[in-house]
Structure 1
Amino acid sequence: MKDLLDLTLDEFKSELISQGESGFRAKQVFDWIYKGVFDYNDMKNIPQALKDKLKDGFKVGIPKVVEEYTSNDGTKKLLVSLEDGNLIECVIMKYIHGNTICISTQVGCRMGCKFCASTLGGVIRNITSGEMIGQILLAQNILGERISNVVLMGSGEPLDNFDNVMKFLELVNAEYGLNIGQRHITLSTCGIVPKIYELADKDLSITLAISLHAFSDEKRREIMPIANKYSIKEIMDACAYYIDKTNRRITFEYSLVKGVNDSKEDAKALASLLRGVLCHVNLIPVNEIKEKEYRKSSKEDIKAFEAILKSHGIEATVRREMGSDINAACGQLRRSYLETRNSN
């Protein structure tokens, strides 16, 4: 059964016309779905005969909430089940400038970053474009408000699921759908170099975020296995190509780990690496997970690191910690739930 959330409007029109239905019905059905009505029976201007046909041939793949937590700061963490029973997470963050959702792009992750819980069990499968859209529609129904910003920074490596992510970017931006502008979408990658070039050639207006976390290959290899395949020079060359093609500033994410990459010397070396690059550094106090030995840098060290970058002309901010009281870091809630379920 096809998921309507995987289809563009033109694709759905073609499906209906091939079944002897009027193409204009596609827009009517999509209007209902994208304003939060997922049951065909509740679509008032759709003929019953078409409703019956839709029930037989098309699903609306909204995931089901397994657990929901709300942080003291208003952040919501959702553990949701896909149709095949696989579990993923998404996080809803409320800001003055609008609601942001962090969605997952894979069930699990194969990248192996040592500070991330998502990768502990490896990757199970890719998430479809429709399942990504479904996370946003579910969140909007829960909030009763529009999601205006999307971050592809949950479980999974987006560029390891390239085709589905590209289809998602088309769907999420479409006027007939969620109509979220590309400039309100951030894609985070650990640095799959060939795919960065391929993404650049798409000439999109999204924000590209690179999970860097170290200034040298030696240090990066300690915490990110991807560094064994692609060097920092290769990543920086790909970033230069991306900036040249899109004229978009790149965000470099840097998780600060106590005693590993948070010294003043580390900050100076990072500033040297990024000198002259159209970029912004997002400093992230690492989320501590029980399976890993990494610990969060002190507030004093984080402030000192930020100050050094700024003194060298590098734009930098410290990410505001949100949802730390509800295991809002990638993969933590899913792993905790699976461990509890498997022990029973």
Structure 2
Amino acid sequence: MSANPLVSQVDSPNPEKLELVPPLLGATVAELTAWVQQQGQPAYRGKQLHDWIYNKGVRSLCDISVFPKNWRAELAQVPIGRSTLHYRSVAPDGTVKYLLRLADGQIIETVGIPSAKRLTVCVSSQVGCPMGCDFCATGKGGYQRNLDCHEIVDQVLTVQEDFQQRVSHVVFMGMGEPLLNTDNVLASLRSLNQDVGIGARSLTVSTVGIRSRIRQLAEHHLQITLAVSLHASNQALRERLIPSARPYPLENLLAECREYVQMTGRRVSFEYVLLAGVNDLPKHALELAQHLRGFQNHVNLIPYNPIKEVDYKRPSSDRIQAFVNVLKQQQIAVSVRYSRGLEADAACGQLRANERQ
């Protein structure tokens, strides 16, 4: 978020101008403090407002009981920026999928993934996705628009409130390509870290790979985790699975990943969806290992989660283990991630915004 965007749009306590204020969610303590002072209120109200937005989850400024009653009435039309719950489903493993309706009527998905020691939220960064990965449900529905900062942060607060538990980790692995929405993703990362209180190393941004954007991300020297969706061991196979990869050769993408490690000191995680008979053979594992030697990285293998539009299959357990063994023999760090929420269509690659609209 740019410096004091609220103040730049409201320069007097005139209630008629309050309607020009953008959603408050995503603003810092300093920005909120400057804004309340512009409204003729004491500076300490800024911290109160910040607390009610981020810790108490208020959805209307009229409900902030510590504010003067008359001022609350004036603030009735000022948007905080919260979505409304459109649909909620729970998988047997406790994973919860949410369809959230935004102010313009668009629907997005977010997923809450609980475990014994953490609560992870998988957030969307766009309405739909323009990347068109052949095995992913989101890309089949097309692309509508980028999400604003407040629409991303809202997803985390929604899950936190529903679970009545602090969110510990956030992964940008929902709908959309985060690095096609870099400004809003960076703003939301700052807010999730500084306002919501989630550690930077518990924030993960996933990307298919957009030319020069990984390098640009590295220039911010964030302590977040970068996850690159590779899904193939060579350029030809990658173009088959990810049409948007055609203008960005695999060797160029990996060179940018090496730069990222050098600039940030943070390793890169590579996501690799295993598709039976397509990219899961030992020769693919060996080819992948050859690409990944010489810099700090880790491979997350994700057995395919089915969608109705295509007939890919999940590899057998033996085939998955054989792939793992080859990578380990080549000294490549690897783990297998079985996605949560499969029965609720909330697993990796299954998110779609047009269900139950």
Q: Give me the TM-score of the superposition, normalised by structure 1.
A: 0.94
| Equivalent in 63, 67, 87 of residue 46 of structure 1 | 67
Q: Does the CA-based 8 Å contact 1:3-1:60 persist in structure 2?
A: yes
CA distance in 1: counterparts of 2:182 and 2:253, whole angstroms:
17
> Which residue number in structure 1 is paired with residue 58 of structure 2?
37
Q: Secondary structure at the match of 1:289?
A: coil
In the alignment, does 2:268 pair up with 1:247? no
CA distance in 1: counterparts of 2:325 and 2:117, whole angstroms:
26
Q: Secondary structure at the match of 1:254?
A: strand
Once the two structures are TM-superposed, the CA of residue 156 in structure 1 deviates from its matched residue by 0.3
Q: Aligned partner of 2:123: which letter?
A: I
Q: Secondary structure at the match of 1:59?
A: coil
Once the two structures are TM-superposed, the CA of residue 333 in structure 1 deviates from its matched residue by 4.8
| Equivalent in 286, 295, 298 of residue 316 of structure 2 | 298
Once the two structures are TM-superposed, the CA of residue 331 in structure 1 deviates from its matched residue by 5.1
Q: Does the CA-based 8 Å contact 1:103-1:153 persist in structure 2?
A: yes
The Cα offsets for residues 37-74 of structure 1, whole Å up to 9 and x where unpaired, read as 33334322211133123223x21222211111111111
> Which residue number in structure 2 is paired with residue 334 of structure 1?
353
| Equivalent in 243, 248, 251 of residue 230 of structure 1 | 248
Once the two structures are TM-superposed, the CA of residue 9 in structure 1 deviates from its matched residue by 2.2
CA distance in 1: counterparts of 2:122 and 2:220, whole angstroms:
22
| 1:1-344 map, 5 Å | 1=19, 2-35=22-55, 36-56=57-77, 58-174=78-194, 177-329=195-347, 330=349, 332-338=351-357
CA distance in 2: counterparts of 1:121 and 1:16, whole angstroms:
41
CA distance in 1: counterparts of 2:340 and 2:26, whole angstroms:
31
Q: Does the CA-based 8 Å contact 1:89-1:331 persist in structure 2?
A: no
Please, which runs of 5 or more residues in structure 2 have no aligned partner? 1-18
Q: Aligned partner of 1:233: which letter?
A: E
Q: Find runs of 4+ consecutive structure 1 residues off by over 4 angstroms.
A: none
Q: Which moved more, 1:252-261 or 1:9-18?
A: 9-18
CA distance in 2: counterparts of 1:221 and 1:327, whole angstroms:
26
CA distance in 1: counterparts of 2:238 and 2:272, whole angstroms:
11
| Cα RMSD (Å) | 1.4
CA distance in 2: counterparts of 1:205 and 1:278, whole angstroms:
15
Q: Does the CA-based 8 Å contact 2:175-2:351 persist in structure 1?
A: no
Q: Aligned partner of 2:226: which letter?
A: L
Once the two structures are TM-superposed, the CA of residue 159 in structure 1 deviates from its matched residue by 0.3
Q: Aligned partner of 1:49: which letter?
A: N
The Cα offsets for residues 291-314 of structure 1, whole Å up to 9 and x where unpaired, read as 123221122111111111111111
From the two aligned structures, give the one with the greater helix fraction.
1
CA distance in 1: counterparts of 2:156 and 2:354, whole angstroms:
22
Report how many aligned residue pairs link the two structures.
Answer: 335
CA distance in 2: counterparts of 1:100 and 1:332, whole angstroms:
16
% identity of equivalent residues:
40
> Which residue number in structure 2 is paired with residue 341 of structure 1?
none
Q: Give me the TM-score of the superposition, normalised by structure 2.
A: 0.90
CA distance in 2: counterparts of 1:228 and 1:249, whole angstroms:
25
